[in-house]
Amino acid sequence: MLTYVSEYLPHVSAFALLDALLIAFVIPWVLLKKRDSTVAVAWCLVVLFVPVLGAFLFWVIGYNYVHRRVRSKRSHHDAFRAAHPPPSREATRGADDPAPPPPALPRLAELALAVDAFPPTHGNAVALYHATEKAFAALLEAIAGARHHVHLEFFILRSDATGARLYNLLAEKARAGVEVRLLYDAVGGLFLSGRMLRPLIAAGGKVCEFLPVNPLRSWIQVNLRNHRKIVVVDGQQGLMGGMNIGDEYLGKSARFGYWRDTFVRLEGPAVAGLQRIFTEDWHFAAHESLNSPAYFPDLASTGEAVVQVVESGPDQERNSIREIYFAAILAAEKRLWIASPYFVPDSGLLDALRLARYRGVDVKLLCLMRPDHFLSFYASRYYWADMLAAGAEVYQYAKGMMHSKIVLVDTSWAMVGSANLDNRSLHLNFEVGCMLHTPELVVELERQFEEDLRQSVRLDAVTFAQRPFLVRLTENACRLFSPVL
Catalytic residues: 227, 229, 234, 403, 405, 410
By C-alpha distance, which of 216, 223, 211 is closest to 185?
Answer: 211
- Assign 251 to helix, strand or coil: coil
Calculate the alpha carbon distances from 370 to 398, 454, 456 in Å: 8, 17, 12
Judged on CB neighbours under 10 Å (0-12, 13-18, 19+), 87 is middle
By C-alpha distance, which of 118, 149, 139, 124 is closest to 295?
Answer: 149
C-alpha 292: how far from its chain's center?
A: 29
- Beta strand pairing status for 406-409 and 413-417? antiparallel
Does an H or E element contain 407, and which? strand 406-409
Calculate the alpha carbon distances from 308 to 190, 252, 420, 468 in Å: 32, 33, 18, 45
CA pair distance 363, 353, nearest whole angstrom = 8
CA pair distance 230, 305, nearest whole angstrom = 19
First and final C-alpha spacing in the chain: 46
Rounded to the nearest 5 degrees, what angle is found at the Cα of 322, between the Cα atoms of 435 and 62?
140
Radius of gyration of the chain from its Cα atoms, rounded to whole angstroms: 23
CA pair distance 169, 26, nearest whole angstrom = 50
Helix, strand, coil percentages for the chain (3-state, nearest 5): 45, 20, 35
Inter-residue contact 170 to 143 (CB < 8 Å): yes
By C-alpha distance, which of 322, 229, 205 is closest to 277?
Answer: 229
Reported as half-sphere exposure (CB side, CA atoms, 13 A), residue 472 has a value of 9
Inter-residue contact 247 to 275 (CB < 8 Å): no
By C-alpha distance, which of 235, 240, 10 is closest to 135?
Answer: 240
CA pair distance 78, 67, nearest whole angstrom = 17
By C-alpha distance, which of 228, 247, 275 is closest to 405?
Answer: 228
By C-alpha distance, which of 307, 315, 222 is closest to 270?
Answer: 307
